[in-house]
Structure 1
Amino acid sequence: MVKFLALSDIHGKLSSLQLIAEKVLAGQKIDAITVSGDISHYGDRAEVRRILDALGSLSLPVFFVLGNCDPREASDLSTEVAIQLETRCEVCGGLLLTGAGGSTPTPFGTTFERDEEEIVSRIRANLGSCGAESPGLYLLVHNPPYGTSLDRTAFGRHVGSRRLRELIEAISPAAVQCGHIHEAAGVERIGGTVVFNPGPAMKGNYALVEVGAGGVTVSIGRA
């Protein structure tokens, strides 16, 4: 079994990361930290690096993608312990991890927006370069798929990606971690795939994800 501490939408708030770490990391074994974007709040590359270094100080592997409030020019940024999945695959606990950052266009003109076809093409390109198939695929994306509670805004509008949903339906990953819609924390299923949004870490939200022979279990929490 593998167990992840899943985070999203940190928006540069290191004090919230500290609270989450104090609550979650004491007394239980976590294999890695996964982050589904918005690491900074319109920060530059150095700001993203600063937050990744703070995550790295927790002495766990970190796997991440960027969000729409991160700088697109940081798409090639990784550190010794924090691995960006934008152009690569990694294996952890028998799972194959990959993903794509940014979001589909918003009304706000944020710093890392891209067409949904680009998001899906990036994931497919990564999977095409991974080689041998893994027993389970774990996707990290910032943008949620269309048509679940995870992409519904406070105004009731679904703003997720239809093409991402089609990809999930086609390849059936074990789990998909997203973010972006702060008010839409929760767990859903698309076919046999568990899809979840941990909620904004800037407000102390997180998820614990366990993947084993019995499937995928996600528990949403708050520090």
Structure 2
Amino acid sequence: MRIIAIGDIHMAADAVTRIPEIGSADLVIINGDLTNFGGTDDAKRVLDTVMTANPSVLAQFGNLDKPEVNDYLEDLGINLHKQARLLRHRLCLIGIGGSNKTPFATPSEFSETELAAFIEHAYEQARASIDLTEPVEKIKIPTIFVSHTPPFGTAVDRLASGTHVGSSAVLSFIEERQPALCICGHIHEAAGTDHIGRTPICNPGMLSKGGWVEITVNDTTVQATLHDRI
């Protein structure tokens, strides 16, 4: 299974057509910030472009998308926020959109308590979809955690000033559950990679700057390659 993960599109969706072999990918994940303070109409324009390149898409809203974008993705049946998706009984995706609080009062921000509750809701949904009583991370099906906001205190949540602005709730989930991979975004200047325990973290940054992640799933193995140009 080959998956392309992108985020922080901010209306510049045409760049997606330059991702090599995007049309043959099994899935495209959009990790939030489709728009710039936009709603359904802007999100539709972005999705139309991405889905022309590849119609197999799952997406979630970011903090710069209005809450109605979340509703629109839900209506389309492609929403990841607060949800778990079991793909071909080989891979589980857990999604969390929006962001923790910022100084800018962007449209879709949440407290750390709210984010933690969203993550727990998705995690419990994952357990139910796999029909297990065991923790998801103990089974053979790997989990990819798709979080618009990065985990706190890492190389991928740092502003140009050096200040860490990621989510403590996201950090706690990764520390406890150790998913096979975390895809994040939100902090454009922190594009890059890091690790929390056994979990690789990838922040591709803005799509218009060339950032995207190529994920390959073979049996129970997940491999991610961060690309910084298209």
Tell me, yes or no, if the aligned pair for 2:59 and 2:80 is still in contact at 8 Å.
yes
2:148 aligned residue (120, 128, 142): 142
| Structure 2 unaligned blocks of 5 or more | none
Structure 1 residue identity aligned to 2:125: S
* 1:41 aligned residue: 36
* 2:110 aligned residue: 114
How many correspondences in the alignment? 218
Mapped partners of 1:203, 1:168: distance in 2? 27
TM-score when scaled to structure 2? 0.87
Mapped partners of 2:75, 2:210: distance in 1? 26
**Cα drift, residue 190 of structure 1:** 0.8
Change (3 A) 1:25 1:126: closer
What is the identity percentage for the equivalent residue pairs of Structure 1 and Structure 2? 33
Change (3 A) 1:125 1:214: closer
Mapped partners of 1:82, 1:56: distance in 2? 14
* 1:215 aligned residue: 221
Q: Pairwise mapping of residues 29-108 of structure 1 onto structure 2 (< 5 A)?
A: 29-78=24-73, 83-93=78-88, 94-108=90-104
Mapped partners of 1:190, 1:181: distance in 2? 18
List per-residue Cα deviations over 1:165-199 (Å, max 9, x = no partner). 11111111111110001111112211111211112
Once superposed, which parts of structure 1, at least 4 consecutive aligned residues long, lie more than 6 Å away?
79-82
Mapped partners of 1:88, 1:182: distance in 2? 25
Structure 2 residue identity aligned to 1:174: A
Q: Which has the higher helix share?
A: 2
Mapped partners of 2:205, 2:77: distance in 1? 21
Change (3 A) 1:152 1:37: same
Tell me, yes or no, if the aligned pair for 1:90 and 1:98 is still in contact at 8 Å.
yes
List per-residue Cα deviations over 1:111-152 (Å, max 9, x = no partner). 111112212211211221331256111111110001111001
Mapped partners of 1:55, 1:215: distance in 2? 27
Q: Which has the higher contact order (CA 8 A, sep 6+)?
A: 1
Tell me, yes or no, if the aligned pair for 2:202 and 2:226 is still in contact at 8 Å.
no
Report the secondary structure of 1:180's partner residue: coil
Report the secondary structure of 2:73's partner residue: coil
TM-score when scaled to structure 1? 0.89
